[in-house]
Amino acid sequence: MNVDQIILNLEKKHPGEKEYLQAVKEVLESIEETYNENLQFKTAGIIERLVEPDRIFTFKVPWTDDEGNTHVNLGYRIQFNNAIGPYKGGLRFHPSVNLSILKFLGFEQIFKNSLTTLPMGGSKGGSDFNPKAKSKLEIMRFCQSFMLELWHNIGAETDIPAGDIGVGGQEIGFLYGMYKKLARKHTGVLTGKGLNWGGSLVRPEATGFGNVYFAKEMLQTIGESFKDKTVAVSGFGNVAWGATTKATELGAKVVTLSGPDGYVYDPDGISGEKIDYMLELRATNNDIVEPYVQEFKSAKFIPGKHPWEVDVDIALPCATQNELDADDATQLVNNNVICVCEGANMPTTPEAIEIFQKNKILFAPGKAANAGGVATSGLEMSQNSMKMNWTRKEVDDKLHQIMKDIHHACKIHGTQKDGYIDYVKGANIAGFLKVANAMLDQGIV
Ligand code: NDP
Ligand code: 2IT
């Protein structure tokens, strides 16, 4: 395999899809050696078949606002690969959504889902709809219109969507209500459902909890723990909330949160009622984090900046892609950060990853370190199939074990000669091998 040539060809075929090409390049670079060692992969065209989605659905989503005006957004579902299980992945509602972003997320999801040890293929979807400042009824009408198109192409055994940026419990409820009405079936077709109608305990906090469980394993490899460490978290959404909660529970002090407007620095630590307030802040449908400093006087707001300039031991980027660049990485390294563990999908730029790895900082990619969310979605699917509910402890224990297993897989495939664990390589190789071998077994399809 010649990675540069493949990327060049893909660039010609899909010009301008920079996030997608970035994600593909990272995976191909990691697996190149493993791939070349197995001639069967080449003969079966595994790479050529993996980098293109099985199919893409694009559709128009018309909806009316509270004043009666009509709006049209674009809707997408990208079914990438179902070699190891039905397509599975979230829906993102954010004005920045485009094909490149959803293709990068869908591609990453294949390897992430493979790492969870559960039988799930990879997909992603969403819309350029902006849920900010919309009324509940506007969001409901949008979700209903979105599902009116999507429902033909999803199902509990074919493709199971869930949440992502801008899609939380409320949106999953509206989407599910419409699916149920159209399909006349009450099945586990979506995950992240409400507890009263098929949801799983721990799913809301699972991505953040899993992220911290993973970081805990990383820290253990150097004889460290979360106890008494300072932590910078970015974002103030679902993942940031779960990560802040669990890191605090393990004895760390989380000192930052961030939004598109800047970041909040709270040297007293973001714990207890402050974590609850984060949820309130998100629920206001407002996209700024600044109001935190009016509520809690210990904090200050730093406009237009990322939290990576703060002197911390651990960094958990939990907002969005490419939010931590080379300058941020240099700053963190200069401040002697020991561990950077991605809660978001691809928040660290390739140049920043290189800086962390050169400096032998513990660094884990999202496809391993944020897999707790989709893993718990997998556990929700199992409970739906069995028509049973596990207790909070049962789900949390399973999640914890899955994160330990993912860490172990990364260690097996990523440990370098000097003992440093290259988690990027480890995650990509472990995730790839399972999918590639399944594809080999199933012939050219
Ligand atoms: P939320 O919508 O709950 O929160 C997203 C956070 O990121 C918000 O603080 C949001 O601010 C901020 N954000 C979004 N887009 C941008 C942007 N372009 N620039 C700056 N900030 C931005 O989403 P989640 O917490 O669910 O998702 C966060 C990350 O975690 C994403 O990368 C997602 O793909 C990933 N992830 C989520 C999982 C889940 O189960 N929910 C599972 C695994 C990964 P605002 O909305 O105000 O712009
Ligand atoms: O990026 C992700 O893994 C998610 N948004 C969660 C997907 C899911 O199906 O639970």
Distance CA 95, CA 291 (A): 23
Q: 365, 309, 366: which is closest to 337 by C-alpha?
A: 309
Helix (H) or strand (E) holding 30: helix 18-37
Ligand with the closest atom to the CA of 193 = 2
| Ligand 2 lined by 162 (C-beta under 6 Å) | yes
User: What is the DSSP secondary structure assignment for residue 305, as one 8-state letter?
Assistant: -
CA 91 to chain centre: 11
pLDDT < 50 positions in the chain: none
Distance 105 CA to ligand 2 centre (A): 9
Please state the length of the chain.
Answer: 445
Q: Are 272 and 296 in contact (CB under 8 A)?
A: no
Report the predicted TM-score, pTM, of the whole model to 2 decimal places: 0.97
Q: Which fold has domain 52-188?
A: Rossmann fold (3.40.50)
Q: Whose CA is nearest to atom 20 of ligand 1?
A: 260
Q: What are phi and psi of 284, to 5 degrees?
A: -75, -5
From the candidates 88, 124, 193, 246, give the one annotated as an active-site residue: 124
Ligand 2 centroid to residue 198 C-alpha, Å:
17
Task: Tokens for 190, please give them.
Answer: 């979506």
Q: Which atom of ligand 2 sits closest to the CA of residue 108?
A: 1
> Would you say the CB of residue 167 lies under 6 angstroms from ligand 2?
no
- Distance of CA 186 to CAs 156, 176, 182, 353, Å? 10, 9, 11, 44
90 CA distance to ligand 1 centroid (A)? 12
The answer to whether the CB of 373 is under 6 A from ligand 2 is yes
Q: Is residue 96 lining ligand 1, measured as CB closer than 6 Å? A: yes
- Separation of CA 106 and ligand 2 centre (Å): 10
Pairing of strands 70-81, 122-127: antiparallel
pLDDT of residue 287: 75
pLDDT of residue 285: 61
Q: Would you say the CB of residue 89 lies under 6 angstroms from ligand 2?
A: yes
92: three-class secondary structure by DSSP: strand
Cβ(94) to ligand 1 under 6 A? yes
Q: Output the residue whose Cα is nearest ligand 1's atom 35.
A: 344
Which pLDDT value is given to residue 391? Answer: 98
SS3 call for 369: helix
- What residue ranges do the domains of the chain occupy? 52-188, 206-360
- Rounded to whole angstroms, what are the CA distances from 393 to 378, 390, 400, 402, 406? 16, 8, 10, 14, 20
Q: Is 164 in the pocket of ligand 2 (CB under 6 A)?
A: yes
Interacting residues of 312 by C-beta distance below 8 A, sequence separation 6+: 229, 230, 231, 232, 255, 256, 332, 335, 337
- The verdict on the CB of residue 237 being under 6 Å from ligand 1 is yes
Beta strands 55-64; 70-81: pairing state:
antiparallel
**CATH superfamily assigned to domain 206-360:** NAD(P)-binding Rossmann-like Domain (3.40.50.720)
Q: What is the pLDDT of residue 21?
A: 97
Type of residue found at 2: N
Q: pLDDT by residue (tens digit) across 309-348?
A: 999 999 999 999 999 999 999 999 999 999 999 999 999 9
Nearest CA to ligand 2 atom 8: 374
Q: Of the residues 111, 164, 305, which should be mutated to test ligand 1's pocket, given the most ligand atoms within 8 Å of the CB?
A: 164
In the structure encoding, which two tokens stand for residue 63, read together?
A: 């909806």
The closest residue, in CA terms, to atom 33 on ligand 1 is 344
Q: How far apart are the first and last CA of the chain?
A: 21
- Could you give the angle at the alpha carbon of 126 between the alpha carbons of 125 and 127, nearest 5°? 145
- The pair of structure tokens assigned to 191 is 């995950």
Whole-number Å distance, alpha carbon 161 to ligand 2 midpoint, is 8
Tell me which DSSP letter residue 56 carries: E
- Ligand nearest the Cα of residue 165 is 1
Cα–ligand 2 centroid distance for 364 (angstroms): 17
Query: Quick check: is 124 catalytic?
Result: yes
Residue nearest to atom 3 of ligand 2 (CA): 374
Euclidean distance between CA atoms 264 and 414, whole angstroms: 35
Residue 104 buriedness (CB in 10 A; 0-12 / 13-18 / 19+):
buried
At 367, which amino acid appears? Answer: K
Atom of ligand 1 minimally distant from the CA of 92: 34
3-state secondary structure of 169: helix
Q: Residue 180 belongs to what H/E stretch?
A: helix 169-183
The CA 231 to ligand 1 mean position distance, Å, reads 18
Tokens of 303: 């406009």
Residues contacting 147, CB < 8 A, separation 6+: 174, 175, 178, 179, 182
